[in-house]
Structure 1
Amino acid sequence: MDNGDIEGGGSEDEFHTKQSGRKYRPVVAHDPAVLEMSSVPPGSSSQEKKNTNSDRLNDNTNGSEREHRLELFGFDSLVNILGLKSMTGEQVAAPSSPRGDGEDAPVTFDRDRPGHNDLKLGTMMGVFVPCLQNILGIIYYIRFSWIVGMAGIGESLVLVAFCGLCTFLTGISLSAIATNGAMKGGGPYYLIGRALGPEIGVSIGLCFFLGNAVAGALYVLGAVETFLNAVPAAGLFREAITTSITTFNGTEVAHPIQSPSSHDLQIYGIVVTIVICFIVFGGVKMINRVAPAFLIPVLFSLFCIFIGIFLAKKDYPADGITGLSLKSFKENWSSDYQFTNNAGIPDPEGKVYWNFNALVGLFFPAVTGIMAGSNRSASLKDTQRSIPIGTLAATLATTALYLVSVLFFGALATRDTLLTDRLLTATVAWPFPAIIYVGIILSTLGAALQSMTGAPRLLAAIANDEILPVLNYFKVADGQEPHIATLFTAFICVGCVVIGNLDLITPTVTMFYLLCYAGVNLSCFLLDLLDAPSWRPRWKIHHWSLSLLGASLCIVIMFLISWSFTVVSLALASLIYYYVSIKGKAGDWGDGFKSAYFQLALRSLRSLGANQVHPKNWYPIPLVFCRPWGKLPENVPCHPKLADFANCMKKKGRGMSIFVSILDGDYHEHAEDAKAACKQLSTYIDYKCCEGVAEIVVAPSMSEGFRGIVQTMGLGNLKPNIVVMRYPEIWRRENLKEIPATFVGIINDCIVANKAVVIVKGLDEWPNEYQMQYGTIDLYWIVRDGGLMLLLSQLLRTKKSFENCKIQVFCIAEEDSDAEELKADVKKFLYDLRMQAEVIVISMKSWDVQIEGGSPQDEWSESFTPAQQRIAGYLAEMKRSAKGDENKLMADGKPVVVNEQQVEKFLYTTLKLNSTILRYSRMAAVVLVSLPPPPVHHPAYFYMEYMDLLVENVPRLLIVRGYRRDVVTLFT
């Protein structure tokens, strides 16, 4: 890549001259190429031509309309206010490059791309002038003097300051965001999407696109209607004549009002739209040739208006123009809100009453247009300097112009003239009024061109981000014109032109622009409040309180204009947001909400403290071992039923699960395998709709891996508190002699780490949420476990598959104990815990009583004898191995102590409990039983034999061990 590819404004010949004789040149700190490359983040792409050519498209932001169809000079209701129909034509930068997998495409520099060597724009022509063109619109020409007459000088100053403050604060927020890194195409959509997330960005971006497209039709109709009023002979059909009746000294006076035919508006409007569409299809070069023609008439007309104000004669008081007069200034200082007819002329019997709120809706479109500079970021020499200075300078300049105009118009004419002369600017313009008509026509045509140029690029930018597959038809490659999006925009414009009367649509368009400004303010508010390490804007004059105030003003202005249309706009944006969240592709743009979630998580974690959580606030956080005993296909990351069981441990899905799998081997050799397995496991968890996270640990052995996990997994009080795994039913069938030691080691590690344990036997038959279970959930409550078994049974009943089951609590009692008293105590305890369950007390002989009778019962012999023989064989093998090692019995690599009488006692007790379970709970939906701890210095093989006897012939069993704390409480 040559340096000439980066320094787009430099001469190619000069570059090659410098390069002659060497292949590379030294790179220094102040090298322009280095500076420019360092300012481009990963994911941005060069789109100089699109943005440069769109730089000079901005003209007036406000379209022109008249009475009859668009009531340019008339007001039949608040809906027909010109201010609600004249929208800004925010210019949109070139579309961003396609995004994949949540990341932006890498930076590419193509020397042969058309427009690559176009000169970059400075602050004046790149930001200030476009913003000035957008802000100064038709409202200033035809309605500003009327506003001064209605609100008076004092409230007009307040009105201008109120609306100007809103856009000024938005400009400050825009400056901060725009200087926090390089910007790509998409204008406000790009800024909002990267700050508030793709869902909000797309919803506001699509609303902004619709606003631009419909505004283009309004500008076309305004230009056509102004032209037909100035040149009536150009009409193809007869003009429509309406009559406005006013009362003067008790006498009704009829005022005929001529307006162009609706058919003329439609025909000329379609023709103008097609011509503008052809200009847009001609590319940015043609647009750049045409666009400057719309700036000069606006500036020249302003010059003529002010010259006319200073030259206005004071000798014709009948005309109502007094010249700059202190008397007129005093008379027009206060407001005079009154009823008007459809033409805006004061009429006591008029149907439209004006107040400050209505004037806000009329005037606010005259201060919009501040996004024009930010949309050209790729075409600016210094984005982070030009956007703040140019945008805020244009905002302050136009606000100052409006404030000065309020003073001049208030001192120029009488109130009656201000309210009845619908084109006072043309009346006082020097040297003749036709200049104002030319300015209105050219400014509205320029705004229409700007809308039809910017709207397609905004739509293409949204499509290129690949959030909504339905918009893929509008995608364009870098450096290409969005022709399909332009045709779609033109189709919308033509449809609106044919409709003609857009009274019900245009107020919503105003709301879309206010939503966009509110989104920019909220974006800056969020980023400024969070103050993430990446938030380092070069524009230092910003604060989250200013952004919050700006967003609040936007919302307030929306409701001041029309609460009903505000609700409609918010509802439409919400529908788009919902559609994007359902149908859109997930993407991570590093938006501010992710940072907010991170800080909220940190604060929540700190607020939990290091102390134990109170039982009322206890939540199960299961640590699920996905593949503890192997024997699953490599492409199966987790036993399918483990996720179903993990969901059963949460009430209404609330809670978190941690799914862990251990890979045997060296971490350096299997790190990539672990990453791939973790991604596969995460995908599986999402597929099973289980709220949880996936972790893959590489360790030399499963025992070492688990020991590290149980000590370090989790943060603070968000550490897992229950270890969940399946029972190793395959260990004897597959002759896996290493499983007993691993199994016992895991249980002992959980006891030492104070973790509860839930071992699932019969996992393959565990029901999913659609398999309804009937019968009972039986608890064999043998040892104190803090109420964990009771809580698990209640959680199971909250699931659809177990909701028809009843809970039975079996209490094992000695023969000489009072069974009824024990039953009453347990019932009282369950009642205090708000748990409904049937209590059954079983008297079980102690081992001493059992062995006095001699051998176990015949029905037990089938299971007892083989287990006894296997233990005897294992013990004999240990004794043979111990003869050469100082007669020490060794098992699992460590010395053990075997008491044969104690072993037989464990076998009898376990077998008796299994027999009791089979007698009372053979048809139960699920059985919960306490997990006996492994005896100290006991061979792991013996413990597995005990466990096999306990779970034998029980189809679905949960073996539960609590820990040294309560998880349920009696108190409120």
Structure 2
Amino acid sequence: MRNEDIEGSEDDEMSSSAQRGGQSYGPVVTQDSDPVVLEMKVKSRQPTREESMSSDRGANGARGESKLELFGFDSLVNILGLKSMTGEQISVPTTPRNNEDGSAAEEHQKASSGVKLGTMMGVFIPCLQNILGIIYYIRFSWIVGIAGISESLMLVALCGLCTFLTAVSLSAIATNGAMKVKSRQPTREESMSSDRGANGARGESKLELFGFDSLVNILGLKSMTGEQISVPTTPRNNEDGSAAEEHLKASSSVKLGTMMGVFIPCLQNILGIIYYIRFSWIVGIAGISESLMLVALCGLCTFLTAVSLSAIATNGAMKGGGPYYLIGRALGPEVGVSIGLCFFLGNAVAGAMYVLGAVETFLSAVPEAGIFRETVTKVNGTEVAEPITTPSLHDLQIYGIVVTIVLVIIVFGGVKIINKVAPVFLLPVLFSLICIFLGILLARRDNPVAGVTGLSSKSFSDNWSSNYQKTNDAGIPDPDGNRYWNFNALVGLFFPAVTGIMAGSNRSASLKDTQRSIPKGTLAATLTTTFMYLISVFLFGSVATREKLYTDRLLSATIAWPSSTIIYVGIILSTLGAALQSLTGAPRLLAAIANDNILPVLNYFKVPDNSEPHIATLFTALLCIGCVIIGNLDLISPTITMFYLLCYAGVNLSCFLLDLLDAPSWRPRWKFHHWSASLFGACLCIVIMFLISWSFTVVSLALVSLIYYYVCLKGKAGNWGDGFKSAYFQLALRSLRSLGANNVHPKNWYPIPLIFCRPWGKLPENVPCHPKLADFANCMKKKGRGMSIFVSILDGDYHKCAEDAKSARKQLAAYTDYRRCESVAEIIVAPSMSDGFRGIVQTMGLGNLKPNIVVIRYPEIWRRENLTEIPATFVSMINDCIVANKAVVIVKGLDEWPNEYQRQYGTIDLYWIVRDGGLMLLLSQLLLTKQMFESCKIRVFCAAEEDSDAEELKTDVKKFLYDLRMQAEVIVISMKTWDNKDSASSPQDESVEAFAAAKGRIKNYLTEMQTKAEKEGKPMMADGKKVVVNEQQVDKFLYTTLKLNSTIMNNSRMAAVVLVSLPPPPVNHPSYFYMEYMDLLVENVPRILIVRGYRKDVVTLFT
């Protein structure tokens, strides 16, 4: 953007004020209506500067005749001792100078009007149904055989412990509020028309005094006459307003209780393929002891996660996405998307596991169905000598692909068909469990099987300890096998048998009482399945020999009563049902992530409301088929375990963070939770991941980290009210309190510039701030560290301009972000510029985070436009900064300020005249850190008094700069050269002309004001004060500024930037005089920073 496009021509800069939202950004007319009248008096002594000038005279002695008194501070000669740098305090002059929409409750009331499920049918039964899976039927006995009763007990205990801890964490999360669903966001007009239609002439209500809907309307209660009041559905800020509508839609359907809504779905998901076809084998290889440990460990993990889930799920309404929604709203969109995608992958891979389990069971039950010849495995060198038949790998692949395609076709039929088919898969699961336990108790006495001993103490003792060894792909012990099993590997194999605790929370919209059903149903299903696994360890370890447990992975079917066919059918139906649920849930999870508009790359999977995610389903099917082609359930199961453990760790961490922060919004109905339990559950999940495979864990965490980084880099920011925001808030408060209100040590001093965007002149409406001011703000921060505050003042009444101020603040904030300024944008509405500025310098900031430097553009146009109000405003702003103890940086030549691509050469010249705490030195060093000025060198010009030793002053300054670790060339300017008329270093003719011109303008101004005051019969006043000016003093100020300007022009005409000390406004001089002094000081200098410190050291000599 060119400067001409921003400022226009200099001549019309103040011709009109820019309008923004109907409000003017133009200059403000001063409130003083009295004309400026001066009395020309000559006095023998210097007029006082009230207490501040007397303080200066006390510090400097009889310095009233000093030519540097214009600058108001100690001369450089007196302060080069820099006693304040060594610990002595320098006295400071103390002279004063002039969101949430109310419809949520109503929606929740309506949602509760439908039929709801209780704890048993809504939570317990669904959890139990999900936990008891195919592993128990076709692998549990084999696990007992290969692990032994002892290690099988350890295995079950370990996995059960994991799920138990997860369930505890889940319960804590789930009881922290109602759950939301996603729907269309109603427009404001629809909401208001709905309110009007329901309430009629509500303007006659006696409660209209309060300005909002009455409590009856908000809560959705019936009116006194029995008429139902409509629910306002205005969305909350920064939240998807569709939640209300979907919540209402969901409430119109039949609601489920705890048993059918949570317990049964969780039970169906937990009881999967691992229990049926791997659990007995796990008991065989791990033994009873370690199998108990295994079940306890995994069960504890899921139990703690269920407790955390219960707490989060009962702390508010939930939308679609299940654990993704919970984690994302607790840990932020970055973590939520990262873990949500991993959970999606886990569900997709789980579908392949269930398909392979069903196909393996089918081929074991019907060997004739194999297309290829069955593989015959002969085991030599072990106690198992008979031939063992296993399904062919190619058969598993072919049938698996076919089954996956059929399931995908069913999924494409819609969720209604799936809901109708789902109950068909539940009853065989429960019936098959009964048959298995009856078969174990009866031990097939009517038809004994080799290796099945019935419940025997000898088998129990033989299978108590573990017997880890190598096996082939069929799980048969083989000294030359390619897979060695140990406890860690069995954890990875068994853990999917305890997953499925999220099934109840995913159906929150269909529950009668979410905050009651989810904790009870989920925890009941977790504890039920864990207890059943523990009992199964003892039963499988006591009913068969270790050899039978090794070799018969479908031992659950072998010993089932009355026939193994029932178990085969139950296994196949349960696994196909679980696969169907995975292929249904995974695409919807991916679509939920895509619909949040966090990652643009996922936009292909977005779907409209109430539509089927067909593209996401196809993508899930491809992933599932790819895993089916692997053809080995033992390799797929650990992969699923990793993804589920990551999700459970995220749930536990979410509950831990929310519980630890204990924000006012954290009010879960589920009270049986603690941050330590959630933290232990999260740590347990990570420990189990490392137990299974440290390399796989590193890869999984790296995958999550990459997704997290990609979301941070490419994702769109979302304000979800996540726990990290609350953590940042509390950390900010703690940091602010730790900073205190004491003075900041120079080593910890950071520039916090307060930048006034448009104090003089106009800018185009679409440019709320001069772009070069943004560039200059970045130059005041080292490597981006620090904070800038951009402020603009709107003239007018706050009540009338409040909305305009809000929109202007958003525009200014967006603009500073576009200019890559780490800043805060504020808009102030005030009757005048002076009033607004005075309020800002007093109140802006908190504690030690208040702005310490005020950056103002020099009003170069005041004389051309004849704007007499600018001098008064300018002087008032400088005086306010001095009283508020703020440093001031006035930028002259802002249009010529370089951007980051315009490299500058030459020097950065400092005219260090008075003590400023080292602010000018620090600013020059900060400029050198920027690419545009890194090729420049610093020169320091020091003004020496007439009676001082210039060489000694130069030596002292060099030593001081050396101690400050700053490299600069030091040049001393003596006052004698300023008064030497014969000196060729200054253009005397031009100086005399400028001096005479300025003096003439001041004299004319005085004459006009005096004549006007005499006509009106008023005393001579300027800026509300009586004017008392010594003509000789005015000449002295004019001469000093003129000579300093001549020195700058002689030495720094080609400098990249010039920094000079800012003289404070004289107390009894009109603001017009001060503008004349300043114009003489900066005349013809293209780029200059006029700096005034605040007598606080910002640099230090010490480490």
TM-score normalised by structure 1 residue count: 0.88
For residue 164 of structure 1, what is the aligned residue in structure 2? 299
For residue 379 of structure 2, what is the aligned residue in structure 1? 245
For residue 652 of structure 1, what is the aligned residue in structure 2? 783
Percent identity between the aligned chains?
77
C-alpha separation in 2, matches of 1:73 and 1:234:
29
The superposition leaves residues 665-711 of structure 1 with CA deviations (integer Å, 9 ceiling, x where unpaired) of: 11111111111110000000100110010010000100000000000
Does residue 476 (structure 1) correspond to residue 607 (structure 2)? The answer is yes
* Alpha-carbon shift at residue 878 of structure 1 (Å): 2.5
Q: Which of residues 438, 462, 470 in structure 2 aligns to 1:331?
A: 462
* Alpha-carbon shift at residue 339 of structure 1 (Å): 3.4
The superposition leaves residues 530-563 of structure 1 with CA deviations (integer Å, 9 ceiling, x where unpaired) of: 1111110000011111111111111111111111
For residue 28 of structure 1, what is the aligned residue in structure 2? none
Map 1:107-186 → 2, pairs under 5 A? 107=243, 109=245, 117-186=252-321
Distance 1:355 1:413, change over 3 A: same
The superposition leaves residues 730-755 of structure 1 with CA deviations (integer Å, 9 ceiling, x where unpaired) of: 11111111011111111111100000
Q: Which of residues 98, 101, 107 in structure 2 aligns to 1:37?
A: 107
C-alpha separation in 2, matches of 1:513 and 1:934:
70
Q: Any conservation in 2 of the 1:780–1:929 contact (CA below 8 Å)?
A: yes
For residue 13 of structure 1, what is the aligned residue in structure 2? none
Does residue 257 (structure 1) correspond to residue 389 (structure 2)? The answer is yes
Task: Name the aligned partner's letter for residue 905 of structure 1.
Answer: K
* Alpha-carbon shift at residue 98 of structure 1 (Å): 6.5
Distance 1:378 1:318, change over 3 A: closer
SS of the aligned residue for 2:649 comes to helix
C-alpha separation in 1, matches of 2:145 and 2:393:
16
SS of the aligned residue for 1:731 comes to coil
Q: Which of residues 823, 827, 833 in structure 1 aligns to 2:958?
A: 827
Q: Any conservation in 1 of the 2:116–2:257 contact (CA below 8 Å)?
A: no
SS of the aligned residue for 1:802 comes to coil
For residue 514 of structure 1, what is the aligned residue in structure 2? 645
Q: Any conservation in 2 of the 1:242–1:258 contact (CA below 8 Å)?
A: yes
Task: Name the aligned partner's letter for residue 302 of structure 2.
Answer: T
For residue 198 of structure 1, what is the aligned residue in structure 2? 333
Q: Any conservation in 2 of the 1:781–1:812 contact (CA below 8 Å)?
A: yes
For residue 780 of structure 1, what is the aligned residue in structure 2? 911
Q: Which of residues 201, 219, 241 in structure 2 aligns to 1:105?
A: 241
* Alpha-carbon shift at residue 505 of structure 1 (Å): 6.4
Q: Any conservation in 2 of the 1:63–1:218 contact (CA below 8 Å)?
A: no
* Alpha-carbon shift at residue 132 of structure 1 (Å): 0.6
Distance 1:720 1:261, change over 3 A: closer
Q: Any conservation in 2 of the 1:47–1:378 contact (CA below 8 Å)?
A: no
* Alpha-carbon shift at residue 197 of structure 1 (Å): 1.1
Distance 1:318 1:393, change over 3 A: closer
Task: Name the aligned partner's letter for residue 305 of structure 2.
Answer: T
Q: Any conservation in 1 of the 2:1082–2:1088 contact (CA below 8 Å)?
A: yes
For residue 443 of structure 1, what is the aligned residue in structure 2? 574
Does residue 806 (structure 1) correspond to residue 806 (structure 2)? The answer is no
For residue 768 of structure 1, what is the aligned residue in structure 2? 899
Task: Name the aligned partner's letter for residue 245 of structure 1.
Answer: V
* Alpha-carbon shift at residue 138 of structure 1 (Å): 1.8
Does residue 868 (structure 1) correspond to residue 1002 (structure 2)? The answer is no
Does residue 211 (structure 1) correspond to residue 346 (structure 2)? The answer is yes
Task: Name the aligned partner's letter for residue 213 of structure 1.
Answer: A
For residue 294 of structure 1, what is the aligned residue in structure 2? 425
* Alpha-carbon shift at residue 913 of structure 1 (Å): 0.5
* Alpha-carbon shift at residue 298 of structure 1 (Å): 1.4
C-alpha separation in 2, matches of 1:873 and 1:36:
74
The superposition leaves residues 800-837 of structure 1 with CA deviations (integer Å, 9 ceiling, x where unpaired) of: 11111111111111244211111111111111111111
For residue 524 of structure 2, what is the aligned residue in structure 1? 393
Q: Any conservation in 1 of the 2:131–2:271 contact (CA below 8 Å)?
A: yes
C-alpha separation in 2, matches of 1:366 and 1:767:
66
C-alpha separation in 2, matches of 1:572 and 1:39:
42
Task: Name the aligned partner's letter for residue 570 of structure 1.
Answer: L
C-alpha separation in 2, matches of 1:703 and 1:948:
21
TM-score normalised by structure 2 residue count: 0.78
Distance 1:138 1:506, change over 3 A: closer
Q: Which of residues 868, 874, 877 in structure 1 aligns to 2:1008?
A: 877
Unaligned runs of 5+ in 2: 1-102, 147-154, 157-162, 168-178, 186-234
C-alpha separation in 1, matches of 2:957 and 2:282:
81
The superposition leaves residues 839-895 of structure 1 with CA deviations (integer Å, 9 ceiling, x where unpaired) of: 111112398888999x99213134222211111111112322343577843222321
Distance 1:257 1:852, change over 3 A: closer
C-alpha separation in 1, matches of 2:295 and 2:126:
27
Task: Name the aligned partner's letter for residue 105 of structure 1.
Answer: G
* Worse-matched range after superposition: 315-324 or 949-958: 315-324
* Alpha-carbon shift at residue 467 of structure 1 (Å): 2.0
Q: Any conservation in 1 of the 2:183–2:243 contact (CA below 8 Å)?
A: no
Q: Which of residues 389, 414, 417 in structure 1 aligns to 2:548?
A: 417
Distance 1:299 1:165, change over 3 A: same
C-alpha separation in 1, matches of 2:246 and 2:554:
52
The superposition leaves residues 618-642 of structure 1 with CA deviations (integer Å, 9 ceiling, x where unpaired) of: 1000000000113222322001100
SS of the aligned residue for 1:800 comes to coil
Task: Name the aligned partner's letter for residue 243 of structure 1.
Answer: T
* Alpha-carbon shift at residue 306 of structure 1 (Å): 1.2
Task: Name the aligned partner's letter for residue 675 of structure 2.
Answer: W
Q: Any conservation in 2 of the 1:56–1:291 contact (CA below 8 Å)?
A: no
C-alpha separation in 2, matches of 1:349 and 1:339:
7
SS of the aligned residue for 1:841 comes to strand
Distance 1:951 1:717, change over 3 A: same
C-alpha separation in 1, matches of 2:987 and 2:856:
33
Distance 1:857 1:35, change over 3 A: closer
Does residue 741 (structure 1) correspond to residue 899 (structure 2)? The answer is no
The superposition leaves residues 337-396 of structure 1 with CA deviations (integer Å, 9 ceiling, x where unpaired) of: 333344333344544333221221121111111000000000001100000000000000
SS of the aligned residue for 1:104 comes to coil
Q: Any conservation in 2 of the 1:674–1:698 contact (CA below 8 Å)?
A: yes
C-alpha separation in 2, matches of 1:494 and 1:342:
20
Distance 1:117 1:909, change over 3 A: closer
SS of the aligned residue for 2:939 comes to strand
For residue 494 of structure 2, what is the aligned residue in structure 1? 363
Alignment coverage as a number of residue pairs: 915
For residue 528 of structure 1, what is the aligned residue in structure 2? 659
Q: Any conservation in 1 of the 2:143–2:284 contact (CA below 8 Å)?
A: no
C-alpha separation in 2, matches of 1:410 and 1:111:
49
Distance 1:849 1:906, change over 3 A: farther
* Alpha-carbon shift at residue 598 of structure 1 (Å): 0.6
Q: Which of residues 686, 692, 697 in structure 1 aligns to 2:823?
A: 692
For residue 79 of structure 1, what is the aligned residue in structure 2? none
Task: Name the aligned partner's letter for residue 932 of structure 1.
Answer: P
SS of the aligned residue for 2:827 comes to strand
Distance 1:98 1:207, change over 3 A: farther
* Alpha-carbon shift at residue 137 of structure 1 (Å): 1.6
Distance 1:335 1:487, change over 3 A: closer
SS of the aligned residue for 2:381 comes to strand
Task: Name the aligned partner's letter for residue 37 of structure 1.
Answer: E
Q: Any conservation in 2 of the 1:626–1:660 contact (CA below 8 Å)?
A: yes
SS of the aligned residue for 1:677 comes to helix
Q: Any conservation in 2 of the 1:64–1:218 contact (CA below 8 Å)?
A: no
C-alpha separation in 1, matches of 2:663 and 2:247:
36
- C-alpha RMSD of the superposition: 3.5
The superposition leaves residues 883-917 of structure 1 with CA deviations (integer Å, 9 ceiling, x where unpaired) of: 35778432223212111111111111111111111
* Alpha-carbon shift at residue 73 of structure 1 (Å): 13
